[in-house]
Structures are given as C-alpha cells and as structure tokens.
Structure 1
C-alpha cells in the first residue's frame, strides 16, 4: 500500500474548521493538487485583514445567496460565526441582505425591457404619481440605483415596498454599514452571480466609508476561493458512486 503523502496545508485548514471531512478523499487521491489549493487558501482564510467575524459572514453570505444556496457551506459558516461570537440577529441580517438581492432582476431586466419596448414602437407610459417616502429617502441619502428609474416610473409602489423591506438593513445598526458594503461586494462578485454594476456601486460605497484596498481585495479573494465547493459537493458523490461501481464489478 502506498504511504499517504503529507498534506500540511490541508491539515491546517481542517484543524481550523475551514474545510471538513468531505475533502479527505481528495487529499488522499490527489494530495499535490489539494495542497496547491490549500496553500492558496490558507493565507486568505486565516489572515487578519478582516475581522474574523466579518470574514465568517462574508463566507456565509456567498453560500446563502439565492444564486448559490449551498446548504453544507451555510451550516458550516453559521457554526463558525456563532463560535466567533456573532449573534443570531447578525446572522439573520445576512440572510435578509441575501434576500433583497432579488432587486437585481429588475435592475438588469427592466432597462432591457424598456429598450425592447422602444425598439418595438410600444409607448412607454408612466404609472400615476403616488407617495413614495422610502424611495425619496433612498434618493436623499444617495443610495438610489439609477437602474431603478424605469421601474420607479412604471410601478413606484412595487419599488417602494421592495426598498422598505431592505432599507432597514442599512439603518438598524445590527451590522456596521461598512460590513454591509463588504457583504454586498461579496454577494455581487460571487462566481454564481458576477453582477458588475452592483459590485462597482458597493466598492465605491465601501471606499467612501473608509475601506482600504486591502480589505476589499480580501473580500474578493475569499469569494475567489468559493470554487472549491465544486469538490466539496462532487468528491463525496464520486467516492460513493465509484465504490458502488467497483462493488458491482466484482
């Protein structure tokens, strides 16, 4: 039997709880590649550029957002966050923040719809004017996305209700405003979303709140390591199916 090759970087990541037993077969089957990935991830996942609690919430936000919904990662990152002293209310805030990402469907689709209506010669008729105090407040504090202008003209009450659901996240002081911008950067730059307009808006907002280049880069580096979840999902399935395949061949 071939002796197991040493995997010191993987062992460090396992001990830190940043990967779990699902990747043990990978470390056994391909220790060289596993080590190369873990060497890449170790400095980022264990760095002190971001507060440990914030880093845990960034990882949680990536996995819980509707564009990904990776259950094993959500559970692991919730557990890590709790162990680091993050409160239930703060974790719930991440879930709510991930929920309002749905407005991106309108930010992306409605301007395209407006262009196609114009191309088809269909009149662009505005809805009757109505009171929109939340939209007005969002405009006043500089947070109104220009891509929302058309939906505001067509259906101001829908946008009013949507923004009413989300505005409190920036004003209830459960998470610091800068942390919220970091979380939004992570959600928009995530490899399952890649929403450039939102990534730029939230990077700009983070810089205005005093974020450093190193902090924003750290968020993006954490996001870039999300790809290992292909192995977290696939390796146990491969192991089970290969064992079944070998069994049926006997």
Structure 2
C-alpha cells in the first residue's frame, strides 16, 4: 500500500489531469486499494483531455453518450459527465439531446434481426412476396421522410420498412426528435441543439463501445460525421473516450472489495 503522502500526490495529479469534481467513490476506493492501477488509469483517461481535438464540453457529452447507453448505464459516469458538460457551458437542451440520441440504440435489434429474418425466409423459401415486394406509396413517403429528417438512408432500413411500416414510422418519429425540434440557441431551422457532426459522434460513441460494438452503425455514422466535416483525429478521440468504460470495472468492483475486505456487511 502507498503512503498517505503518495496517495495525496496521486490525488493531486488526478485533479490536475481530470479535474477534482471527477473524483467519485470508485476512483477514491481504487486509489486506496491499488495506487499503481489508479495512476495508470488516470494516465489513460487524461489523453483525450491533453490532445483536445474535441472541446472539453464535447468530450463530456461524448462520455455521457457512452455511460448513458442502454448497454452500460453507468450512473457515476452519467453524473460526472453531466456535471462536466454543464461546467463547460452545455445547455440543458444539449445534455438532453445526447440522452435522446443515445436512446435510439435499441433499434439495432431490428437493424440486425430483420435482415437476418429475411435471410432465413429466403433460405426456407417462405413469404417470398412479402420480402420482395416493392414499396407502396406510403412506404416511399416514409423513406423520403426519414432521409430528409435524418440526413441519410441505408439499405439496412429497407427490409424493416417493407415488413412493418407502422413500427418504422413510430421509430422515425422517435429518432427524429433531436433532428427537427426547435430549441433556444440551437441549430438554425429547427435542427435541435447539437450540430449534425456532434450528433453523429454520439452515435459513433455508443456504437463503438465494447458493450455494443455495432459495426454497421459505426461505419455509417463515421461516414456521416466525415460528411459533416469531422477530422480523423476527432473520430479517434471519440473512440478513445468510449474505450474508457473499461475503467468502470475497477470503479464498480473496488468499493465492493474494500467493503467486504474490511469486514463490513455486504
């Protein structure tokens, strides 16, 4: 175990690198139990802040997207990133928009499942008419509406729209909110609070996270981000921020280990 003086030095390094407000129970417990790993974790987490291809505010919003995604839901991180984003000047509309964008993750059940279902139906020789018929007038309207509101179209939406236009339309409404609403100080023309590029970074963040790893979406949103003017360095920084969720293993486990090792009741 490190001396009290050494732990104090490490805590000061943490504050200098990540900000004193980022020190939550998980970090503190890890510092007491394993100063070396604490220090290495600080080094890893601080790289994006040192390079800053993204602003501090945008980094916090990207971190929020990773931690609030349905596949992770890491509450201490959500609190830390919301606080950091607000400190860096983010509005409540910008913070909420990250939550809205991240809430679309669940549709990947359909993005993956529906094409697989169509593949199976073709292999089994069943429902051929349903899975090959051209779009009707309503489906063409929904495709155009999606393209206009979301700024792109991808072939993985084709089978979904063909098999269940009603659910597709409901998802279109749900997913388009951040792209069409008017907010004070937001994008011109009722395009939400965040820039299209940052919206695409949010999608990239939860798609690339190790709890999800949705490759088709990640490639699509990288392409979209580049189309909105993103640089490779900015996208790499999004990936680096998403990588930091691995540290949460220690953040969750360390307090439990410390509690049980000290003889306290679980």
User: Structure 1's 93 and 176: CA in aligned 2 closer, same or farther, altered over 3 A?
Assistant: same
Q: Is the 8 A contact 1:9 1:39 kept in 2?
A: no
Gap runs ≥5 in structure 1 = none
C-alpha RMSD of matched pairs (Å): 2.4
Partner of 2:161: 152
Q: Is the 8 A contact 2:30 2:255 kept in 1?
A: no
Is it true that 1:117 corresponds to 2:121 in the alignment? Answer: yes
Partner of 1:3: 3
Mapped partners of 2:260, 2:217: distance in 1: 40
Mapped partners of 1:2, 1:63: distance in 2: 30
Is it true that 1:90 corresponds to 2:107 in the alignment? Answer: no
User: Structure 1's 43 and 139: CA in aligned 2 closer, same or farther, altered over 3 A?
Assistant: closer
1:1-250 residue pairs with structure 2 within 5 A?
3-4=3-4, 5=6, 6-7=9-10, 9-13=13-17, 15-126=19-130, 129=136, 131-132=138-139, 133-139=141-147, 143-171=152-180, 172-244=191-263
Bigger mean CA deviation after superposition, 40-49 or 69-78: 40-49
Displacement of 1:138 in angstroms is 2.6
Mapped partners of 1:119, 1:187: distance in 2: 33
Displacement of 1:11 in angstroms is 4.4
Gap runs ≥5 in structure 2 = 181-190
Bigger mean CA deviation after superposition, 229-238 or 160-169: 160-169
Mapped partners of 1:125, 1:192: distance in 2: 37
Mapped partners of 1:37, 1:218: distance in 2: 17
TM-score by length of 1: 0.89
Q: Is the 8 A contact 1:60 1:78 kept in 2?
A: yes
Bigger mean CA deviation after superposition, 196-205 or 158-167: 158-167
Mapped partners of 1:170, 1:143: distance in 2: 12
